[in-house]
Amino acid sequence: MIYLDYSATTPVDERVLDSYCKVTREFIGNANSIHTLGVRSKELLMQATNQIAEILNCHPKELIFTSGASESNTTAIKGVAFKYCKRGKHIITSKLEHKSVLEVMGYLSNIGYDVDFVDIQPNGQIDLKHLEELIRDDTILVSICAVNSETGFKQPLKTIRQVINKKNPNVIFHSDLTQALGKTRFYLSDLDLASFSSHKIYAPKGIGILYKRRDLQIDTLIYGTTENCPFRGGTPALPLIVSFAKAMRLINDKLESNIKKCEKLKIELLKGLSKYPIQINSNDLCVPQIVNFSLLKIKSETFVHALERYEIYVSTTTACSSLEESTVLKALSNGNKDVSTTSIRVSLSHLTTMEEVHKFLEIFDKVWNELLLKWEK
């Protein structure tokens, strides 16, 4: 098997899984309980939270544990929208966002909020001049992802923050950092809110983080809050939180070397793909772990299933929108369906080997010729 869909989800690191199992077995107390078992669990919770805060360079009280990035995105956007609706109901986002962002924007639009989409430049970055033009006195939120999950386009968060502050310093800036964590450097000091998910960095599914600047107030999405969970009701998922902390430490320790390895893999992959009449959608502004290209003549779903016969696993758009036309490429190609309905995403990892890239290219050639022949008939 050759797995090349790491941006959809990652296998759990054995060391992370060991931590999960150990905590599950040995820390059975609810961290909200006042007895000895609860106190032990709370101490471990604080230890894991402090470790994550140190890695992210933020205060532990700025971290809210959620079920994943989709909940974090929803909490951030609805939390700001409802808290600051008297200040204004104008929100700015982009077509580069994950489905969890786009759908909540649609919901807010339906109940009276004014949602604008900033233009995307041909290089995949947002148009900063257009962003500045869109910001108004009644703008309350800008939500722009750091790394697009389909193409890998990176956004200049610091510059976006500067544009916001110049036009209206009261605007809150949220970014979905799901695809940035473990793939590139970022700084929470540029943001007011940020979303993360554990299963993108070799930890179990079901745990995420919402970073919330300490002095920022937002409305609660899930009620039943406690001292340990002041902004999100529920019992702390201690084994998952500890696992997330462990995975974050492991990925952070080798971030630079992992990036360099993926850069080499990407170069080799693009070299092999260069002989085909396809459109490469990822560029030098993208993270090296994601390579997106459009086949132009062959539907992406058909190609993905053809590769699957050889136990090679890639994806089309995102895992949450895998059977839908790519909204990102639709926006970038001015609605060209040959581009937006034939895209393939190959996502690499430090676990990927050069041999796997070569094998993928070998099978790609075989499948390409098979399907092209059928298409021409």
What six digits make up the tokens of 9?
Answer: 């989800």
**Is residue 83 predicted with pLDDT exceeding 80?**
yes
In this prediction, residue 224 carries a pLDDT of 81
pLDDT (average), residues 227-239: 83
**Is residue 317 predicted with pLDDT exceeding 80?**
no
Q: How far apart are CA 16 and CA 242, in angstroms?
A: 9
Count of alpha carbons within 13 angstroms of residue 284, beta-carbon side: 0
Q: How far apart are CA 50 and CA 132, in angstroms?
A: 36
Residue 21: active-site member:
no
Residue pLDDT, tens place only, 139-162: 999 999 999 999 999 999 999 999
Residue 238: which of 45, 77, 40 has the closest Cα? 45
- Predicted confidence band of residue 177 (pLDDT cuts 50, 70, 90): very high
Range in 87-96, 178-187, 281-290, 322-331 the model is least confident about:
322-331
Q: What proportion of the chain, given as a percentage, has pLDDT over 70?
A: 96
What 3-state class would DSSP assign to 138?
coil
Range in 97-106, 200-209, 220-229, 319-328 the model is least confident about:
319-328
**Is residue 277 predicted with pLDDT exceeding 90?**
yes
Average pLDDT score, the chain: 94
Residue pLDDT, tens place only, 28-50: 999 989 999 999 999 999 999 99
Higher pLDDT, 131 or 335: 131
Give 333-339 contacts, CB < 8 A, sequence gap 24+: 338/294, 338/296, 338/297, 339/279, 339/281, 339/294, 339/296
In this prediction, residue 375 carries a pLDDT of 59
What 3-state class would DSSP assign to 36?
helix
Query: Using an 8 Å Cβ cutoff, are 30 and 185 in contact?
Result: no
Neighbours of 104 (CB within 10 A): 23
In this prediction, residue 321 carries a pLDDT of 47
Q: How far apart are CA 244 and CA 20, in angstroms?
A: 9
**Is residue 174 predicted with pLDDT exceeding 50?**
yes
**Is residue 72 predicted with pLDDT exceeding 90?**
yes
Residue 198: which of 153, 248, 150, 148 has the closest Cα? 248
In this prediction, residue 334 carries a pLDDT of 79
- As to burial, measured by CB atoms within 10 angstroms (0-12 exposed, 13-18 middle, 19+ buried), residue 32 is middle
Considering 58, 145, 262, 320, which one is annotated as catalytic?
320
**Is residue 376 predicted with pLDDT exceeding 90?**
no
Residue pLDDT, tens place only, 189-211: 999 999 999 999 999 999 999 99
Residue 59: which of 152, 150, 188 has the closest Cα? 188
In this prediction, residue 228 carries a pLDDT of 65
Residue whose structure tokens are 């086949």? 295
In this prediction, residue 140 carries a pLDDT of 98
pLDDT (average), residues 207-230: 88
Residue 293's contacts (CB-CB under 8 Å, 6 or more residues apart) are 273, 278, 279, 280, 281, 282, 343, 344, 346
**Is residue 374 predicted with pLDDT exceeding 70?**
no
